[in-house]
Structure formats: structure tokens, C-alpha cells
């Protein structure tokens, strides 16, 4: 069983390798929520994620016991880089099995750390099954991303840093996927001070652990779909569920829009690049999922910052629309000279900045002699958008909105 001694031993192994990342007061979030909020910035960790802690601790214990034949892992993300980093550090072979659909940037990131990459399977579960068999066949040690005592102990070192830096925390909020992070953190927190609440936050698109927590038994899901790919875990681990049921006070879900909103907030207001999995705690805070007394001192773990650039672009676009800073319209015009100029002059008169425009006169839903103008506008809030709609209606421009 994992205990505080294991976590403190892990801290000794990690002290000259991982960063003791900032655990800093967040004034804007504190004012918004009525709590005293601190952010544990594991997005600034080496390799960009907390996963380095668990992977390094596991491989260090293998080396201590004389196992130097090499390690194997299955991952398309942060665990892969953690294992590859640790394998290079100890001078042993690393093999990472990744799904065939893994973006090239992630494949190259692992190869640059010195590990071999095998692309196998259409999803993580197929890659995982292959990796386990590959490790057996080649007499190498498989490093599980979460269901492992040494891995959980490594993740638990985050809690030691948090409790050492900020006194009298009332609650710690932790992302939950496979459960390794919250198992390690909750073991440390509750052993040191059982009065501190530990709150787990998962994505509504990957609810297996939340369902299992509520039912008090492992429940698997048939599929996962979430922008928080770091916690997109389909099946529940009985190993981590045992610790979660023992130590975690509550667990909640946040939806995709809430996660996207938190990513955008952290980028824009906190100047922090945080991936979907890392942003779920802030999403829960921003959208009222934390049931704590006002004034509570709350620590939130930002578990990682390795977000795909394409995904970030999409999140920013959706976030701008959701926060009334951008609107997309399709306006129907009579297809004649001057009509487009008249529309642009109207938009200018209401201070709407055109950032993209398209002209279509061939769509099958158009009446003969009409044209569709698709226009993206930079706007200044909900009232400004209401004024734009009113101006279009008053001046006889039929339109519909795109979301």
C-alpha cells in the first residue's frame, strides 16, 4: 500500500531532477470566486507536465533494484515524455508505443528524448495492449501511467510541495483521469492533515472514475470524447479507485465549454498555457462546482501545459464567440453594385470591425438575384452584439448567426 514514507522517498529521488514548481496566489480568481486561490503550476514542470514525477520515480526504483534492461510505456502524451526523459537520464533503453494517429510533433518530442517510438493501434487501448506484450517478449519493464505504487508516490510529491509552501489550506482540487495523480496527492494530504478536503475534477466526456466513485466500485465506459486528452481514460483502475474512495472527499464533472473557457481565461488573464486536463480545476472554480465556505484557502493543481496548437486555436475561436467578443453572421443581400458597400458602411457605423468576409452567389438556398455574405466581426460584448443585430434588422438586412 502507498503511504507517506513512499512519497517522501520519492521526493528524495526527484529533488535534483524535477522543478519545485510555483504555488502562487491568484488574485483574479480569488476575487471572482470569493476563495483564497493558489495555483500549483505543473504546466511549468520539465517536459510540461507532472507525469515526469511518477515516471522518474518508478524508473529510479527499477534501477535501484538492478533492473536495467529498459522500459516500455504506452502513451500519446505526457507520460511518454516523462518515461523517455527518465530512461535517458539513467542510460537505459526506452520504448514508447503510441497510437498510429498520434500527431508528428508528439512522436518527434519522444524521439528527441532518446526513446524508440512504435506506432501501433487505432487508439490508446490497442497501443497499451501491444506495449504490455512487447515488454514481456523483450524482457523489459512496463511503466504504467497511473496504476502503480511508485508512479503514484512520485505524483504525491506535488502535495508535499504545496503543504510546505502555503499554510492552512482548506482544500486541494485535482484533475482526475486514471487516478494516479489524485491517489498520490490525497494520500499525502490526508496523512499530514485529514481536515484538508481533497476534491477531484474529471471531464464529463470521460466520466468513468466519477461514476465509479459514486457507485463505490469500478465502472468502465465504452468511449471517451473530450478536449482534456490528458484525462481521457475509458476504463477505471481498481488500484487507484481504492485510494480515491479512501481519501477523496468529493468528485465532480466539468463540461467541454467550461474547460475551454478555463483554458482561455488562464491564457489571457493569468498568462499561463494550460492543457485541457490541467484546466479542469479552474473550470470547476469558475463555474461554481466547488461547494466550499466563502474565504476558504484553495489550492488548484494545473497538471500540465502540453496543448496541441490546432486545439488551442479552436478553443480561442470558440472562447471569443462565447464571451461575445466575436460574432459570425451570414447576411443576405440583393446581388447588385453597392450592396456590399452599404453593408460594410452600416457595420462601420456601429463600430463592428470586420476580420473576415466571404461572398457567395451560387448556394442552392438563395433566391435568384440574391447573395450570401459571410462575415466575422470583432465585437465588444453582449450589448454591442445586440446593437449590431438591431441595426441589421432596422436596415432590412436578413441574417442568421453561426456558432
User: Per the structure, how many domains does the chain have?
Assistant: 3
Do residues 278 and 382 share a domain? no
Same-domain check for residues 310 and 398? no
Residue 57 forms part of a structural domain: no
Q: pTM here?
A: 0.90
Shared domain check, 229 and 302: yes
Q: Which of 107, 139, 171 is the last residue of a domain?
A: 139
Q: Are 395 and 346 in contact (CB under 8 A)?
A: yes
Range of the structural domain that residue 343 is part of: 324-402
Query: Same domain, yes or no, for 166 and 248?
Result: yes
Distance separating alpha carbons of residues 395 and 16, to the nearest angstrom: 68
- Report yes or no on 40 lying in a domain: yes
- Classify residue 14: in a domain, yes or no: yes
Catalytic residue among 186, 212, 303, 376: 303
Q: How far apart are CA 253 and CA 171, in angstroms?
A: 17
> Residues 41, 51, 106, 297: which is the catalytic one?
51
Residue 55 covered by a domain? no
The closest of 99, 104, 46 to 232, measured between CA atoms, is 99
Do residues 156 and 196 share a domain? yes
Burial string for 193-213 (b: 16+ CB within 10 Å, else e) reads eeebbbbbbbbbbbbbbbbbb
Single out the residue of 116, 41, 101, 112 nearest to residue 229, CA to CA. Answer: 101
Does one domain contain both 287 and 174?
A: yes
88 belongs to a structural domain: yes
CATH number at residue 391: 3.30.70.260
Per-residue H/E/C for the chain: CCCHHHHHHHHHHHCCCCCCCCEEECHHHHHHHCCEEEEEEHHHCHHHECHHHHHHHHHHHHHHCCCCCCEEEECCCHHHHHHHHHHHHHCCCEEEEECCCCCHHHHHHHHHCCCEEEECCCCHHHHHHHHHHHHHHCCCEECCCCCCHHHHHHHHHHHHHHHHHCCCCCEEEEECCCCHHHHHHHHHHHHHCCCCEEEEEEECCCCHHHHHHHHCCCCCCCCCCCCCHHHCCCCCCHHHHHHHHHHCCEEEEECHHHHHHHHHHHHHHCCCCCCHHHHHHHHHHHCCCCCCCCCCEEEEEECECCCCHHHHHHHHHHHHHHCCCEEEEEEEEECCCCHHHHHHHHHHHCCCEEEEEEEECCCCCCCCCEEEEEEEEECCCHHHHHHHHHHHHHCCCCEEEEC
Could you tell me if residue 61 is inside a domain?
no
Assess whether 78 and 171 both reside in one domain.
no
Asked whether residue 165 is domain-assigned, the answer is: yes
Active-site residue flag, 303: yes
pLDDT in tens, the chain (403 residues): 999 999 999 999 999 999 999 999 999 999 999 999 999 999 999 999 999 999 999 999 999 999 999 999 999 789 999 999 999 999 999 999 998 888 787 888 899 999 999 999 887 888 899 999 999 999 999 999 999 999 999 999 999 999 999 999 999 999 999 999 999 999 999 999 999 999 999 999 999 999 999 999 999 998 888 998 888 888 899 999 999 999 999 999 999 999 999 999 999 999 999 999 999 999 999 999 999 999 999 999 999 999 988 889 988 888 888 889 999 999 999 999 999 999 999 999 999 999 999 999 888 888 888 999 999 999 999 999 999 999 999 999 999 998 7
Which of 318, 339, 368 corresponds to the end of one domain?
A: 318
Q: Is 389 exposed, middle or buried (0-12, 13-18, 19+ CB in 10 A)?
A: middle
- What is the rounded CA–CA span in Å between residue 61 and residue 63? 5
CATH number, domain containing residue 89: 3.40.50.1100
Active-site residue, 51 included: yes
Among candidate residues 117, 139, 161, the one where a domain is terminated: 139
Q: Is residue 357 part of a domain?
A: yes
Residues 222 and 339 in one domain: no
User: Does 246 share its domain with 383?
Assistant: no
Residues 379 and 251 in one domain: no
Residues 258 and 181 in one domain: yes
- Does residue 113 share a domain with residue 93? yes
Amino acid at each position: 500500500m502507498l503511504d507517506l514514507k513512499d512519497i517522501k522517498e520519492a521526493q528524495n529521488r526527484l529533488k535534483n531532477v524535477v522543478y519545485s514548481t510555483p504555488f502562487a496566489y491568484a488574485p483574479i480568481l480569488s476575487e471572482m470566486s470569493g476563495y483564497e486561490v493558489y495555483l500549483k503550476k505543473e504546466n511549468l514542470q520539465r517536459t510540461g507536465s507532472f507525469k515526469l514525477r511518477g515516471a522518474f520515480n518508478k524508473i529510479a526504483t527499477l534501477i535501484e533494484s538492478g533492473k536495467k534492461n529498459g522500459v516500455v510505456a504506452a502513451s500519446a502524451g505526457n507520460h511518454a515524455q516523462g518515461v523517455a526523459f527518465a530512461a535517458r537520464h539513467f542510460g537505459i533503453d526506452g520504448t514508447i508505443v503510441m497510437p498510429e494517429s498520434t500527431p508528428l510533433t508528439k512522436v518527434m518530442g519522444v524521439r528527441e528524448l532518446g526513446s524508440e517510438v512504435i506506432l501501433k493501434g487505432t487508439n490508446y487501448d490497442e497501443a497499451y495492449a501491444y506495449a504490455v506484450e512487447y515488454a514481456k517478449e523483450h524482457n523489459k519493464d512496463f511503466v504504467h501511467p497511473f496504476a502503480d505504487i511508485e508512479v503514484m508516490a512520485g505524483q504525491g510529491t506535488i502535495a508535499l510541495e504545496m503543504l510546505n509552501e502555503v499554510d492552512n489550506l482548506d482544500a486541494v482540487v485535482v484533475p482526475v483521469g486514471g487516478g494516479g495523480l489524485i491517489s498520490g496527492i490525497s494520500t499525502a494530504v490526508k496523512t499530514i492533515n485529514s481536515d484538508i478536503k481533497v476534491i477531484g475534477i474529471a471531464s464529463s466526456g470521460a466520466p468513468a472514475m466519477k461514476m465509479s466513485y459514486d457507485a463505490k466500485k469500478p465502472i468502465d465506459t465504452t468511449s471517451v470524447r473530450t478536449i482534456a486528452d490528458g484525462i481521457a481514460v475509458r476504463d477505471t483502475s481498481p488500484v487507484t479507485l481504492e485510494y480515491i474512495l479512501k481519501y477523496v472527499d468529493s468528485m465532480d464533472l466539468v463540461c467541454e465549454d467550461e474547460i475551454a473557457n478555463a483554458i482561455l481565461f488562464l491564457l489571457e488573464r493569468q498568462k499561463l498555457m494550460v492543457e485541457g486536463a490541467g484546466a479542469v480545476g479552474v473550470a470547476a472554480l469558475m463555474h461554481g462546482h466547488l461547494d466550499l465556505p466563502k474565504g476558504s484557502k484553495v489550492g488548484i493543481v494545473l497538471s500540465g501545459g502540453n496543448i496541441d496548437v490546432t486545439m488551442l486555436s479552436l478553443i480561442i475561436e470558440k472562447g471569443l464567440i462565447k464571451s461575445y467578443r466575436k460574432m459570425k453572421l451570414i447576411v443576405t443581400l440583393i446581388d447588385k453594385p453597392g450592396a456590399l458597400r452599404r453593408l460594410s458602411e452600416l457595420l462601420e457605423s456601429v463600430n463592428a470591425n470586420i476580420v473576415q468576409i466571404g461572398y457567395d452567389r451560387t448556394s442552392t438556398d438563395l433566391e435568384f438575384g440574391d447573395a450570401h455574405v459571410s462575415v466575422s466581426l470583432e465585437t465588444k460584448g453582449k450589448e454591442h452584439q445586440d446593437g449590431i443585430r438591431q441595426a441589421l434588422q432596422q436596415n432590412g438586412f436578413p441574417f442568421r448567426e453561426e456558432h
